[in-house]
Structures are given as structure tokens and as C-alpha cells.
Structure 1
């Protein structure tokens, strides 16, 4: 990571935890001016955008992050240069699923559900119609909000809803992550994975 980025990233995290979400967002936007190809900036920007209920910015940020994660994997597959830990997972990945994906590198969103999870929470939790139609998700939306906020409210909120972290994980795996994966498959610019200009592609 660019040495000028780390202070901005750290400041963004600190401001977020203090509740200064606009300030945190501005830190990450400034960080993008330093390096618009750093995947973690988009992840952090997506989280802050979610907390600000800026659904469009959150979704675009997560798409950009996923693109930057998958692009090098696609290049490595084409050049037969996958790192060993990924090659093992790729070789054991379901061939029936693989042939249905837009690119072989899409297998990465199945073995790393992180971006899919964040994306799906923004798609569902920030959509009033979806929340009204699925009231059982409301506690999980609140728990997720507290989790990414990092302000110390997570434990009290999960206890108030009489849920556990295992309940949260199960809901993510059963409901959120599959939706996030589907959205990535449908909306990533798979034919442009070789470019890192994600600002142009997704913003």
C-alpha cells in the first residue's frame, strides 16, 4: 500500500468509530486520489456509505473492490500462474458451477464471501421496500450496521434481539451472501477485468 495511504485509512477508521461518517468518507475519497486501484479503500468507502445510507455509493464501491480483487486472478488463470493456495482451491472448485460463471476467476467470490456479504447488506438493508417485505431481516440489518460501525454497540444490539453471532453468520450465508454473489455475477464488467480503471467503470 502507498505509504501516503495508511494515514488516510487509519484516520478514516478513527473518524468512523467516532461517528464522523462524512469525515471518514472524505478521507477515503482523498485516499482514492492517491491510489484509485487500492481495493481496501473501496471496501472501507462502501462501509461508510452504507452507514450514511448512501446505497448507490456503497454498491459502486463494492463492485469496484470486487473488480480489483478478481482482475489479477483472471490474469493469473490465463497465464497459469495462480498462487498455490488459490490453485488448490481452484482445482477443487465445482466444475459444474465453474462452467456457469462468466469467467473462471469468478470462483473467487465463492471462496471469499466478504465483498458479496457487504454488497448484499447494502442492497437489502438500504432498500425500504425489501425491508418492508422481509421484516425478519430487520434485526440483522441493525446488527450488521453496528458491526461495521465498530463503535462498541454490537454486543448490546445482538443481545437485545436475543440473537447470537452464529445466527448472524447463518443469515448471511443463507440470505445475504448468495444475493451478493448473484449481483456481482450480473453486474461486474467481466469483459474488462484487465483494466484497473474502476472509477471509470463503476462511478
Structure 2
């Protein structure tokens, strides 16, 4: 059998890259919404938070730690029934969004909690003394003050999701990971495998560079 060159495999690689973008960005948007909500809840319910509640904080923290402790590949397998229920199938890029989001939400929630914890207590107390409600303090003090940290954490989360997406290819999730396995590893085609790796490296570098630039611009405005 004639070995496929990386140029001949380029159309398939571009298709795989589109699948990776779809599953990664889909999971990223879900993660931003639910991770932000969970992170805020964790911060508010902490012993030194605006609405301290020990039981709520311990339960949420325990669930976050449990999910984060599971290797992603195992998490994908465990979530197959839920993925099939939500997406209608357990395979393909769309189905991969479910485990990707479930794996990333606890990670980003901890990032959010940490970023909110860095906000100066004096600003929170000043807003509270002026009669601001908890929701107003969150919207007008906590989130704006923590924005650079939230953006930096979001960038890190997106890079992590790109890495997770390659593992999704191992069980039929599609994307560049699946391409690298089928066209590179299984066919002992090192050039094609290296081409897939290079594409992922470039994507990660671009994402990280843009994220860092956005964080710097936010810091200069402060």
C-alpha cells in the first residue's frame, strides 16, 4: 500500500481541524457560562465570602475536586450514557462537547474562584457599605476587578480543551487527534503524524499569544 504524504492528507487534516475547532469552541462557551457561575458560587459561599454557607461550599468543592481528579479519558467513557442522552449519539465532534465541557467546567470554576479571591476586600466593603446587593457587588466589583485573571484563566482553559480534544479522537470523537491516530500512528506514517502535531502546536501558540495580549491590554486600562 502506498504511503500517504502529508500533502495528500492535507484535505483530511483541514476537515479534522474544523472538527477540533467545533468541539473545542462549543465546549469552551459552555465552560465559560457554567464555570463562571460555579466559581462565583464557590467564592460567595466560602467562609470569608459574601454569603458564607459551609455545607454548600463543601459539597460544591467536593464535586469539583472529584471531577478534576478523574483522567479525561475515563471521564469520557463514564459519560457515554449522558452524552448519548444529550447529544443523541456518543460519537463525533458534537458528542465530544459534552465530556469536554464536563471536564473543563470544574477547572475553570477554580480559576474563577481564585481570581475573585484576589479582589481587594476594601472595594467589596465600600460597595457593601453603600447598600449594594450581593448581585450588584458581583457584577460591578468582583467580576470587573478580576477580569484580567478571568481572561488569563479562560485562555488556559481553552488550551487545556484543545489538549483534551485530541484524546476525544481515541474513542471516536473526531478531530485532529483522530486524524493523527488513523493517518499517522496506525499507518506508521511519521511525517503525517508530525504534521498533525505541528498544527496543534501552532493553534495553541496562537491562542496563548492572543490571550496574553488581551490580558496585557486589560491591565493597561486599569
> TM bucket by the smaller chain?
0.3 to 0.5
TM (norm. structure 1) is 0.34
Report the structure, 1 or 2, having the larger helix content.
2
